[in-house]
Amino acid sequence: MLDLKELRRDPQGLEIKLKNKVPETNLTPLVALDEKIRALKTEAEELKSKRNQASKEIGTRKQKGEDVAAFMKEVGAMGERITQLDHEITAKEQELTHQLAFLPNVPMDDVPVSPSPKDNVCVKSWGQKREFDFPFKNHVELNEKLKLFDFVRGAKTSGSGWPLYIGMGARLEWALLNYMLDTHRKNGFMQIIPPLLVRPEIMFGSAQLPKFENQLFKVKDEDYHLYLIPTSEATLNGLHSQEILEEEQLPIKYTAYSPCFRREAGAAGSQERGLIRTHQFNKVELFCFTKPEDSQRVFEEMLASAEEVLQGLGLHYRNMLLTTGDMSFAAAKTIDVEVWLPGQNRYYEVSSVSNCTDFQARRSETRYRHKKDKPQFVHTLNGSGVATSRLMVALLENNQQSDGSVLVPKVLQKYLEEEIGILKAPHA
């Protein structure tokens, strides 16, 4: 949620910044609505003051035995108008909040201004693309012999886009999750196992609602109105909603594993089969609450922790600073970490680290207090640490051998009971 005081102070300047993110942004109706609300409040306050004075006058005249019928009628009319104004103010404030909820966060000044992801800026590259001296396969083709996933039975139980990990595929996925959580705990993040269903107000706080309502899975009946989380960011952001934290508690750094659930619109293309784009995927999330002056430092710490995961796995990746038009709704600055997938002949995002400044904190009413000062909003930051489905694809495709087997990175071997160093076809 944007700061209404900032909107009042410089609506034209704010609109220019927001247009860099959403070109059709028009703040004129919002400014007019805010001015109308303030005018109504002024009228209501003046009437209440007059009513109080009139009530005192009535009391004085009654003591003198004077007729107060006209004054009583006047006070009654004031009361009716005040009630009418209060109802109108409430309705218009709700409309103002609704309109504010659809405005995105303001991009930081160092974010490239462009509507196109083609203008994202590579700020770092690590490792090199693997050169193959044999015809390499994509992960779906490799799986034909390795039997790590069963896409047919996954579709049988739930429909397309719901992956089923089997045997060594399930064990390797679990090894990845444990490796990532160990890495982030070592780097100072507290591990959380979050609920997978959350209330509407929690989704609103993380800025998933109301804008992304149609992309979410939900449970709604006479007993429950809950949403399946598209990322554990939603739950983690809500952990301290409507709280005032003490300065000494900050920064609070969480890491959490959870399945994530998203409606993926349209059918995946031929290059996005298998694990590339699914309705359910596993992810280790990083989430932090900080003081505003510390948010850039914490942003870099989160990014470094995500990169450490990929470096330990020996995977080539690049960091892309996203343009204003490619950032998420809640982000003020984002760096995507993209790994190279040979089978798709392109880079794919496996981590997205974002500084959301005080945007989510305003929606969740999460503040902190410096000594006896007035509480102020925290900054929130989130990042994937990382999403395993595409990471699994990267591991399989980049570590494949000419005979169709796959080398297992050393950092994962300790999580497999037999310290398996190579994946082979089950019958081999």
One-letter amino acid at 396 equals L
> 125: closest CA among 399, 347, 418?
347
- C-alpha 141/C-alpha 160 separation (Å) is 18
> Do 251 and 294 touch, CB atoms closer than 8 A?
yes
Contacts of 64 (CB under 8 A, 6+ apart): none
Paired strand residues for 124: 319
Count the Cβ atoms, other than its own, within 10 Å of residue 263: 13
Distance, CA of 20 to chain centre: 20
Q: Which residues pair with 339 in a beta bridge?
A: 317, 348
Amino acid code (one letter) for 217: F
> CA nearest 406: which of 169, 129, 126?
169
Q: Among 232, 295, 352, 364, which one carries the catalytic annotation?
A: 352
Rounded distance, CA 62 to CA 69, Å? 10
The CA-based dihedral angle spanning residues 77, 80, 83, 87, taken in that order and rounded to the nearest 10 degrees: -120
User: 32: burial class by Cβ within 10 Å (0-12, 13-18, 19+)?
Assistant: exposed
Q: Among 173, 233, 390, 397, which one carries the catalytic annotation?
A: 390
Q: Is 349 considered catalytic here?
A: yes
> For residues 392 and 310, what is the distance between their CA atoms, to the nearest angstrom?
11
Active site residue 417: no
What span, in angstroms and rounded, lies between the C-alpha atoms of 406 and 412? 13
The residue behind tokens 């309109």 is: 99
Our answer to whether residue 185 is catalytic in this structure is no
Selected catalytic residue, list 171, 173, 233, 262: 262
Distance of CA 425 to CAs 137, 331, 369, 403, Å? 15, 43, 58, 10
Close Cβ partners of 200 (under 8 Å, ≥ 6 residues apart): 209, 225, 227
- DSSP for 33-55, please give it: HHHHHHHHHHHHHHHHHHHHHHH
Name the nearest CA neighbour of 123 among 108, 112, 131: 112
Q: Give the active site residue among 277, 362, 363, 367.
A: 277
- As a whole number of angstroms, the distance between CA 31 and CA 28 comes to 5
Q: Give the tokens for residue 8.
A: 């009042």
Q: Does 277 qualify as catalytic in the annotation?
A: yes
| Catalytic residue, candidates 15, 349, 365, 405 | 349
**Residues labelled as active-site residues:** 262, 277, 349, 352, 390
